[in-house]
Chain A
Amino acid sequence: MEIFGQLAGGFATALQPINMAMLFVAIVLGLVIGVLPGLGGTSGVAILLPISLFIKNGALPGSNEVTAIIFLAGIYWGALFGGVITSILFNIPGEPWAVVLLFDGFPLAKRLRRPGLALASSFVSSFVGALVATVLFTFFALPVAERALQFGPAELFAVFVLSFATLIGLGAEAPMKSVAMLALGLLLAAVGFDTITGEQRLNFGQVPLLSGIGFVPVTIGLFGIGEILASAEEQGIGYVEQISARLGLRDVREAFVELGKRIRLVLSNSIIGFFFGVLPGHGATAASFLGYGLARQYSKNKENFGKGEISGIMGPQSAADSAGVASLVPMITLGIPGSPTSAVMMAGLFIWGLTPGPVLFIQHQDFVWGLIASIYLGHLMTFILCLLAVPLLAMIMRVPYAIITPFIIVISIIGSYSLNNSMLDVFITVIFGLIGYWLRKLKYPLAPLVVALVLGDSTERELRKALIAGHGSPLYFFNSPLSTLLMLGALVLVLIPLVRTIRARRRGAVARPAGVAH
Chain B
Amino acid sequence: MRPYQVATAAAIALIAAVAMFDSLAAFNPSAGTAPGDVGARWYPFWAAAIMGSAALIVAYRVLTTPQAVEGVFAGRTSIFSVLKLAIPMLVYATLIGGIRWRDGDINYTVIPPLGFYIATALYMGGFAWWIGRYKIWWVVLILVAFPLVIFAAFELGFRVSLPKSFLYDEGILPF
Whether A423 contacts B128 in the complex (CB less than 8 A), given A183-B54, A233-B81, comes out as no
Chain B 24-36 interface mask (CB, 8 Å, partner A; 1/0): 0000001011111
A228 touches which one: B38, B57, B85 (CB < 8 A)?
Answer: B85
- A-to-B contact residues, CB < 8 Å: 50-51, 54, 59, 174, 176-177, 179-180, 183-184, 186-187, 190, 194, 196-197, 199, 201-202, 204, 225, 228-229, 232-234, 236-237, 400-403, 405-407, 409-410, 413-414, 417-418, 421, 423, 426-427, 430, 433-434, 437-439, 441-442, 444, 460, 463-464, 467-473, 512-513, 515-518
A187 touches which one: B38, B48, B81, B116 (CB < 8 A)?
Answer: B48
Check B97 against A179 for contact (C-beta < 8 Å). Answer: no
A470 touches which one: B2, B16, B36, B97 (CB < 8 A)?
Answer: B36
Check A236 against B55 for contact (C-beta < 8 Å). Answer: no
Q: Which residues of A contact B36 (CB under 8 A)?
A: 467-473
Check A468 against B35 for contact (C-beta < 8 Å). Answer: yes
A430–B89 CA distance with the chains assembled, in angstroms: 8
Q: Which residues of B contact A409 (CB under 8 A)?
A: 85, 89, 92, 123
Distance between A229 CB and nearest chain B CB, rounded to angstroms: 5
A237 touches which one: B30, B41, B51, B131 (CB < 8 A)?
Answer: B131
What are 14 sample pairs from A and B whose C-beta atoms fall under 8 A apart? A174-B58, A190-B47, A196-B37, A233-B74, A234-B78, A402-B128, A407-B146, A410-B123, A426-B93, A442-B5, A444-B8, A468-B35, A468-B37, A517-B2
A444–B55 CA distance with the chains assembled, in angstroms: 11
Check B54 against A236 for contact (C-beta < 8 Å). Answer: no
Which A-chain residue is minimally distant from B98 (CB atoms)? Answer: A423
Q: How many A-B residue pairs have CB under 8 A?
A: 195
Whether A405 contacts B8 in the complex (CB less than 8 A), given A204-B22, A472-B35, A517-B69, comes out as no
Question: Is B90 part of the binding interface, using a Cβ–Cβ cutoff of 8 Å?
Answer: yes
Q: Is the interface of B mostly helix, strand, loop or mixed?
A: helix
Check B85 against A417 for contact (C-beta < 8 Å). Answer: no
Please tell me the size bucket of the interface on B. Answer: 35 or more
Distance between B98 CB and nearest chain A CB, rounded to angstroms: 10
B57 touches which one: A176, A470, A517 (CB < 8 A)?
Answer: A176
Question: Is B112 part of the binding interface, using a Cβ–Cβ cutoff of 8 Å?
Answer: no
Check B47 against A186 for contact (C-beta < 8 Å). Answer: yes
Starting from the known contacts A464-B37, A472-B35, 20 additional A-B residue pairs (CB-CB under 8 Å) come to A51-B158, A183-B51, A187-B15, A197-B37, A229-B86, A232-B81, A233-B78, A236-B77, A402-B134, A403-B142, A406-B124, A409-B92, A410-B150, A417-B116, A417-B162, A418-B162, A426-B97, A433-B89, A464-B38, A468-B36
A403 touches which one: B9, B69, B132 (CB < 8 A)?
Answer: B132
Question: Is B173 part of the binding interface, using a Cβ–Cβ cutoff of 8 Å?
Answer: no
Whether A515 contacts B69 in the complex (CB less than 8 A), given A201-B22, A430-B93, comes out as yes
Q: Which residues of A contact B86 (CB under 8 A)?
A: 229, 434
Q: Which residues of A contact B41 (CB under 8 A)?
A: 199, 201
Check A232 against B84 for contact (C-beta < 8 Å). Answer: yes
- B-to-A contact residues, CB < 8 Å: 2, 4-5, 8-9, 12, 15-16, 19, 22-23, 30, 32-41, 43-44, 47-48, 50-51, 54-55, 57-58, 61, 66-70, 72-74, 77-78, 81-82, 84-86, 88-90, 92-93, 96-97, 116, 120, 123-124, 127-128, 131-134, 142, 146, 150, 154, 158-163
Q: Which residues of B contact A234 (CB under 8 A)?
A: 78
10 nearest CB pairs, A to B:
A402-B132, A183-B51, A194-B40, A516-B66, A199-B40, A180-B54, A472-B36, A179-B54, A190-B44, A186-B47
A418–B161 CA distance with the chains assembled, in angstroms: 7
Q: Which residues of B contact A204 (CB under 8 A)?
A: 22
Check A513 against B68 for contact (C-beta < 8 Å). Answer: yes
Which A-chain residue is minimally distant from B93 (CB atoms)? Answer: A430
A180–B96 CA distance with the chains assembled, in angstroms: 34
Check A197 against B32 for contact (C-beta < 8 Å). Answer: yes
Check A427 against B93 for contact (C-beta < 8 Å). Answer: yes
Check B158 against A467 for contact (C-beta < 8 Å). Answer: no
